[in-house]
Amino acid sequence: MTEVDVRGRVGPDTLADGASAKLRQGKSAETIIQQLHGRLYEANYRGTLFSGGMSLTAINNATYTTATLGATCTPVVGVWNPPGTGVNLVIVQAVLGVTMTALQATGGAPFVWASSVGNGALTLGAQPLSRLTLTLAGSKARDMTNVALTGLTNNLAVRHASQLGGGSAAQVAFLATQVALQTTQVSQVEQIDGTIIVPPGGVLALLATGTPVAHSATSALLWEEVPV
């Protein structure tokens, strides 16, 4: 039987891209295999991780809901990938925080994901945040959170439920008192982990299914821009 002598290097390396390296070993000659840094560090370090969202904003309008799926729709959080970008938007995570702003309130949950493809003429939207530089620069997408989908070619369609929720659990007016508070949720995180991809021309939007009354929300959407 032929023996193979595998030798590595003890201790960490700091190498430039393209450099070769030996296997890394510990002080007991064991081979070290580890997840270095955070799970999304490499994508962020390469400048491909971006996000959009809004600070606390009233969502007391049918335009934030599935009752409005055309060009006047206003995503609670959303993104548009313009045609010709050459990238897919690989959705990583979504966050939603909802709070009631009055004792009498009507909930909008459950929330759903709606999407549309073949859109090349949206005129609004904001520059997303680079999670590497913390500046509004570098993304090929448009953050459509809290802005109308003006120029939308094809209406959104509700595709599936979201794990996100918050606010009143009742889609009817409910007057809370000190002894009869509403059932509420404040904030949630949905780990999408690439199971939704927004292609060039695609729009993705989080919407309520009922029109909230006396509710405000904060939101965030995180994605990686990957060449097609």
pLDDT tens digits, residue range 125-167? 999 999 999 999 999 999 999 999 999 999 999 999 999 998 8
In this prediction, residue 74 carries a pLDDT of 98
Q: Which residue has the higher pLDDT, 167 or 216?
A: 216
Give the model's confidence band at 34: pLDDT under 50 very low, under 70 low, under 90 confident, else very high.
low
Whether residue 26 lies inside any domain: the answer is: no
51 inside domain: yes
Q: Is 1 within a domain? A: no
Whether residue 32 lies inside any domain: the answer is no
Q: Rounded distance, CA 186 to CA 2, Å?
A: 63
The whole model's pTM is what? 0.86
More confident residue, 89 or 180: 89
Assigned domain for 165 exists: yes
195 pLDDT band, cuts 50/70/90, is: very high
Reply yes or no on whether the pLDDT at 23 is more than 90: no
Share of the chain above pLDDT 90, in %: 70
pLDDT at 80: 98
Residue 7 lies in a domain: no
Which of 54, 102, 91 is closest to 212 using CA atoms?
A: 102
Give the pLDDT mean for 182-186: 67
* Residue 60 within any structural domain of the chain: yes
Q: How many domains does the structure of the chain reveal?
A: 1
Kindly give, in sequence order, each residue whose CB lies less than 8 Å from that of residue 186, ignoring residues fewer than 6 positions away.
Answer: 97, 98, 99, 166
Q: What letter would DSSP give residue 76? A: S
What mean pLDDT is reported for the chain? 91
In 3D space, the residue among 93, 47, 96 whose CA is nearest the CA of residue 212 turns out to be: 96
Q: How far apart are CA 170 and CA 180, in angstroms?
A: 13
Residue 20 within a domain: no
What is the residue range of 194's domain?
A: 38-227
Q: Which of 16-20, 84-88, 183-187 has the lowest mean pLDDT?
A: 183-187
